[in-house]
Amino acid sequence: MNLKNNKRAYVIAYTGILLSLAIVLNIFESMIPPIAFLPPGIKLGLSNIVTMYCLFFIGKSSAIAITLLKSTFVLITRGYIAGLLSMTGGLCAIGIMILLIVVFKNKSSYLLLSIFGGIFHNIGQISMASLILETPLLIYYLPFILIGGLIAGTLTSVLLRILMPALNKIQIR
Amino acid sequence: MNKNRKFYKRVDIILIALVLSIGFGISLLQNDTDSTDNERYAYIYYENILVTQIDLKTAENKTFELKEDPEIIFQIKDGAIAFISSPCHDKICIKSGYIFHDGETAVCLPEKTVLTIKSSAKTDVPDVIVR
C-alpha cells in the first residue's frame, strides 16, 4: 500500500480526527464553572493544543479548517453568540500564529507562539463581546486578557509537549 | 519544516516578564475603590440602554424581573446583586454569581443584558458609548 497515493485522503481523515479531539476539549473546558470577576465567556483554550499541533505538523489550511469547523460546531450546539465568539477567538489566535511563523520561520519557540495565540484568542473574544454589547469591555479587561492569555498559552504549550509523542504516533510520510 | 523548532527560548522569559508587567501595570492604574464607604450603584443595561439603577447600599433584599424582558430575574441580597434566572442557553450570567464590588460585571450576551457595579469614584472607564 503506497501511502503517497492516499496522502490527500489521509490528511483529510487525520484532520477529521483532530477536529473531533478539538471539539471534545472544547466541551470539556466549557463545563468548568466561570468565576465572577473574569470576563464573560473567557475559556481556557485547550482546543488550541490540537490546532497548534495541526498547524505545525499538517499544514496551515488544515489548522484553519479545524478552527472554522470547531466554531461551526459551537454555533450548532450553543447558538449564534457562542459560535461567533468562538470564531473570532479562534481566527485571531491562528491568524497571529501563522503571521509569527511566516515572519520568524523557525526562530519562534512553541511557547512564544502559544502565548501569543492565547492572548490574541482572548482579545478576539472580548472585542467581539464588546461589539455585541456596545460597551468598552476591552479597556477594563485588558489585564485579564494579557495575564489569562499568558497562563493559558503556557499551559497549552506544556500540554502540547506532553501530548506530542501520542499525537505523533499517527504520521504522514 | 518544523523539526527544529524549540519549545522555549531565552527570549520567551523577556516576553513573559513584559506581558506580566504590562498586565499588572494596567490593573494598578485602574482605580479600584473597594472601600464600602463609597456609594455603590448597580446598573442594568438592556441593549446598551440603561434601564435600571439601584443604590446597593440602601437596597433591601428582594427579587425582581427586568421590565424589558420579564424572563430575566435578578436578586439583591446583602448589598450584592445577581442573575438568578435567564432564558439563555449557557447560563453564564447566573454562574457569575453575586457581584458586589465596583467594576464587577455579570453579562448575558444572548439577552444583551449587562449588570455592572459602579461607584461615583470610578472615572477612568467611560460609562456609556453614545452611538
| B5:A108 CB<8 A | yes
Contact A108, A86 (CB under 8 A): no
- Across A89-103, A139-153, B29-43, B101-115, the highest mean pLDDT is recorded for A89-103
Q: What is the pLDDT of residue B3?
A: 63
Query: Which of B12, B23, B96 lies at the smallest CB-CB distance from A146?
Result: B23
Q: Given this model, what pLDDT does residue B37 score?
A: 59
What does A100-165 look like in DSSP terms, one character per residue? Answer: HHHHHGGGS-HHHHHHHHHHHHHHHHHHHHHHHHTS-HHHHHHHHHHHHHHHHHHHHHHHHHHHHH
More confident residue, A133 or A117: A117
Note the pLDDT of residue B122: 46
Q: Quick check: helix, strand or coil at residue B52?
A: strand
Interchain contact B9–A (C-beta under 8 A): yes
> C-alpha grid cell for residue A28?
470539556
Test the B interface: residue of A109, A119, A164 with most B CBs within 10 Å: A109
CA R_g for chain B: 20
Contact A111 B12 (CB under 8 A): yes
The verdict on A139 touching B (C-beta cutoff 8 Å) is: yes
Q: What is the pLDDT of residue A171?
A: 62
How much is the pTM?
A: 0.72
Cross-chain Cβ contact B6/A109 below 8 Å: yes
A interface test, pick of B107, B108, B127 with most A CB neighbours within 10 Å: B107
More confident residue, A64 or A129: A64
In angstroms, the separation between the Cα of residue B56 and the nearest Cα of chain A is 18
* Residue of chain A whose alpha carbon sits nearest to that of B82: A36
Q: Which helix (H) or strand (E) holds B32?
A: none
A155 in contact with B at a CB cutoff of 8 Å?
A: no
Say which residue, A29 or B34, is predicted with more confidence. A29
> Which chain B positions have a beta carbon within 8 Å of A139's beta carbon?
125
For B58, residues 6+ apart whose C-beta sits below 8 A from its C-beta are: none
Given a cut of 90, whether residue A93 has pLDDT beyond it is yes
Give, in order, the Cα–Cα distances in Å from A42 to each of A89, A127, B41. Answer: 10, 12, 25
Which pLDDT tens digits describe chain B residue by residue (131 residues)?
Answer: 456 677 888 888 888 898 888 888 887 877 655 555 567 888 888 888 888 888 888 878 888 888 888 888 888 888 888 888 888 888 888 888 888 777 778 888 888 888 888 776 544 455 555 55
Nearest Cα residue in chain A from B130: A134
- The CA-atom distances, in angstroms, between B24 and each of A46, A70, B12, B27, B128 are 24, 33, 18, 5, 25
The C-alpha cell at A99 is 503571521
Q: What percent of chain A has pLDDT over 90?
A: 24
Of A112, A132, A161, the CB nearest to B15: A112
Instruction: Give the distance from residue B131's alpha carbon to the nearest chain A alpha carbon, in angstroms.
Output: 9
Q: Show residues of chain B in contact with A81, CB under 8 Å.
A: 109-110
Q: Mean pLDDT across chain A, nearest whole number?
A: 83
pLDDT digits (tens, 9 = 90+) for A2-28: 555 677 888 888 889 899 999 998 888
Give chain B positions within 8 Å (CB) of A42.
Answer: none
Weakest mean pLDDT among A70-79, A115-124, A151-160, B97-106: B97-106
What is the number of alpha carbons within 13 Å of residue B57 lying toward its C-beta? 11
Q: How far apart are CA A92 and CA A107, in angstroms?
A: 21
pLDDT band at A105 (very low <50, low <70, confident <90, very high): confident
Confidence of residue A98 (pLDDT cuts 50, 70, 90): very high
Does residue A110 sit at the B interface (CB-CB below 8 Å)?
A: yes
Confirm or reject contact between A167 and chain B (CB < 8 A).
no
Q: In this complex, do B8 and A106 lie within 8 Å of one another by their Cβ atoms?
A: no
Q: What is the pLDDT of residue A34?
A: 56
B16 touches chain A (CB under 8 A): yes
